[in-house]
Amino acid sequence: MRLAIGTALLFSFVTSQLCSAQSLLPPTPYLDHGACPFECCTYRRWTVEKDTVIYRQRSTSAGVAFRLKRGDHVTGVTGVVVTLKPGPVIVKKARTIGEDRKVRVKPGDILYLLHYSGEGIYKLWFRGRTYEAEMPTAPGLITNEPLEQREEFLHVESEPNYVWWVKVKNRRGQTGWTKENDNFGNMDACG
């Protein structure tokens, strides 16, 4: 009897610890509605640079809403960045991270990269909240902090796997979705 009670208590403790640890993980897939994932990205009038199929929903099996031809113009209405697999980052030295919202992290903490945002900044998940912070792995990162020094504090285990779906509206007022966002021009407000 005593063994059964002890086993039940141990199982309850282990289960609560696992549930607690799981609550620290981002939901998968993670949906970032309205995100525009690069520097100066903006939703506005875009040019179509390559023929593009537009779907009724955010799925290539959702049925075709309409097709765009190179040279057409559309309005980029909004987007959703869908993180399929977050990229874990191990904190090696204590520091404060974050752009607008800041958080103190300590060695052994695990951050989860959700997607690139631009200018060396990633959207990340830590203990149930999202933050924007500079990461050592960012493509084309411009910073005063040398790569070796940034990697002293954080070790990126892997990049996140994500897809950016954009919702567009054609001149007839029809709307639909595509993940072929490289087929559009005039998306960059800085260029």
**Which strand (E) or helix (H) includes residue 16?**
helix 2-22
- 140 vs 88, residue with greater confidence: 88
| pTM of structure | 0.80
pLDDT at 144: 52
| 2 against 190, higher pLDDT | 190
Residue with tokens 């005063």: 144
- Out of 10-14, 113-117, 154-158, 172-176, pick the least confident: 10-14
Mind listing the pLDDT tens digit for each residue in 102-138?
Answer: 999 999 999 999 999 988 899 999 999 999 998 876 5
Q: Are 103 and 174 in contact (CB under 8 A)?
A: no
Separation between Cα atoms, residue 169 and residue 103, nearest integer Å: 39
Q: What is the pLDDT of residue 141?
A: 45
| pLDDT per residue as tens digits for the range 22-68 | 458 999 999 999 999 998 999 999 999 999 999 999 999 999 999 99
Contact status, residue 119 vs residue 127, Cβ threshold 8 Å: no
Write out pLDDT tens, residues 160-188: 999 999 999 999 999 999 999 999 999 99
